[in-house]
């Protein structure tokens, strides 16, 4: 496989009737076929990108040395992990893969909602993202994965230590991906306070939950449309504010909880509340592969993985490393990407004419288009970049019309070509 992300059907083939004459764009070399449904322009992959480093807020009182024993423990832990299916080995579903990559490049896009038929590889693809996640600096031993260079992502104890001038050990680690089980309790998600210890010893004894572990990482909710409403509300509050607050018996504790929210589900099992849908930056639709040869290839690749997972992963190491480098380059290149004022106005005009509530659609489309430009190695957003991402950014924000038979992604593309032509 030359690259994970191949060129898919252009929006011109999906846009109805009169739109086909308006879709002339610069051609991109074809990389692979895409059996699933996709909107907008072609997807990109396998591009070497080199850009400027992101400027950071520096804190001087930290130590970055890792002891040999710690290094050996990390290597041993990695060896003992359950083998994960490689992201590069997933056939098709390019729309879903692109949305996930763009969110890794720019976490501020706001996550992905993946909806589609059962057995289409939604969970497998999300969990395979773990290997591609870049390393980040964290304060060693801190339960909130505090960033030693960003006060907004620090727990209270780390912030106090830095103010006092104490030296903190800093290590580099992979971004966390936390799986939220459907049966999780609110205490397990938010964390618990030991009331007895607080009353007898006068200290705040807090046991961090999954939201603390997910800080500066990814929170994945499989079958999100089956999640209890009260847990959905907790996730919404944390996703909106970036903080989790636990209050018990007059004791209040807050900690940072900035995470990329990824959800997957089957529409047959029920629709999501509009409030929850709006919190997801992008929406990817996946469908069953209909091409017989591709189906055979998927079956054969899965059989190879089940037979010998380690050998299968080794066969995709080069492509995995190439994707890792591409993501790292795109993340560093992102701050230098610009978007013309004219294109910003047109994006907002599309949102306004589609009656999209609020401004999240405008913001996410701008961010996603910049991330795609960075992925391509360009310092400027093109209309083609916007055409690729705008259906995924807006389709789930449209008001539902029970009498409308046209797919919402097509409605977005139709309006896009009206405005951008």
Whether the Cβ atoms of residue 240 and residue 258 lie closer than 8 Å to each other: no
Per-residue burial over 226-260, b = 16 or more CB atoms within 10 Å of its CB, e = otherwise: ebeeebbebbbebbeeeebebebeeeebebbbbbb
Enter the tokens of residue 128.
């395979």
Burial (Cβ within 10 Å: 0-12, 13-18, ≥19) of residue 8: buried
Whether the Cβ atoms of residue 280 and residue 114 lie closer than 8 Å to each other: no
Whether the Cβ atoms of residue 404 and residue 362 lie closer than 8 Å to each other: no
Whether the Cβ atoms of residue 390 and residue 363 lie closer than 8 Å to each other: no
- Name the phi and psi angles at 93, rounded to 5: 55, 45
Q: How far is CA 91 from CA 35, 222, 298, 300, in A?
A: 9, 21, 6, 11
Can you tell me the distance from the alpha carbon of 114 to that of 341, in angstroms, rounded to the nearest whole number?
Answer: 31
Exactly one of 360, 367, 395, 397 is catalytic; which is it? 360
Q: How far is CA 3 from CA 31, 34, 118, 394, in A?
A: 7, 12, 26, 27
Residue 360 bears catalytic tag: yes
Nearest to 212 by CA among 142, 107, 151, 111: 142
Burial (Cβ within 10 Å: 0-12, 13-18, ≥19) of residue 122: buried
Q: Could you give the residue numbers annotated as active site?
A: 360
């Amino acid at each position: 496989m030359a690259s994970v992300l191949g060129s898919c059907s252009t929006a011109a083939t999906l846009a109805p009737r009169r739109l086909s004459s308006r879709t002339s764009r610069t051609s991109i070399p074809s990389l692979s076929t895409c059996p699933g449904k996709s909107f907008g322009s072609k997807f990109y992959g396998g591009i070497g990108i080199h850009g400027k480093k992101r400027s950071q807020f520096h804190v001087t009182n930290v130590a970055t040395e890792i002891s040999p024993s710690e290094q050996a423990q990390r290597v041993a832990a990695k060896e003992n992990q359950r083998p994960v299916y490689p992201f590069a080995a997933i056939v098709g579903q390019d729309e879903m893969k692109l949305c996930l990559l763009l969110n890794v490049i720019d976490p501020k896009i706001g996550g992905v909602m993946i909806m589609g038929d059962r057995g289409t590889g939604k969970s497998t693809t999300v969990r395979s993202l773990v290997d591609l996640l870049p390393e980040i600096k964290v304060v060693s031993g801190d339960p909130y994965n505090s960033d030693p260079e960003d006060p907004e992502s620090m727990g209270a104890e780390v912030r106090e230590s830095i103010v006092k001038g104490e030296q903190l050990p800093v290590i580099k680690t992979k971004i966390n991906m936390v799986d939220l089980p459907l049966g999780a309790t609110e205490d397990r998600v938010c964390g618990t306070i030991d009331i007895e210890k607080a009353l007898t010893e006068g200290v705040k004894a807090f046991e961090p939950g999954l939201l603390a572990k997910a800080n500066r990482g990814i929170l994945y909710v499989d079958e999100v449309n089956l999640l209890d409403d009260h847990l959905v509300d907790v996730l919404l509050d944390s996703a909106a504010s970036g903080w989790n607050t636990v209050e018990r018996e007059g004791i209040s504790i807050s900690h940072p909880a900035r995470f990329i929210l990824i959800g997957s589900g089957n529409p047959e099992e029920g629709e999501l509340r509009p409030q929850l849908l709006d919190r997801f930056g992008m929406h990817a639709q996946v469908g069953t592969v209909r091409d017989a040869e591709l189906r055979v290839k998927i079956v054969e690749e899965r059989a190879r993985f089940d037979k010998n997972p380690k050998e299968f992963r080794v066969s995709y190491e080069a492509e995995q490393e190439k994707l890792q480098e591409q993501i790292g380059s795109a993340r560093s290149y992102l701050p230098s990407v610009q978007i013309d004022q004219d294109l910003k106005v047109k994006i907002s005009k599309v949102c306004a004419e589609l009656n999209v509530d609020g401004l999240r659609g405008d913001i996410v489309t701008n961010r996603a288009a910049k991330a795609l430009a960075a992925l391509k190695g360009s310092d400027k957003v093109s209309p083609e970049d916007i055409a690729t991402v705008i259906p995924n950014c807006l389709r789930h924000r449209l008001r539902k019309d029970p009498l409308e038979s046209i797919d919402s992604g097509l409605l977005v593309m139709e309006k896009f070509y009206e405005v951008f032509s």
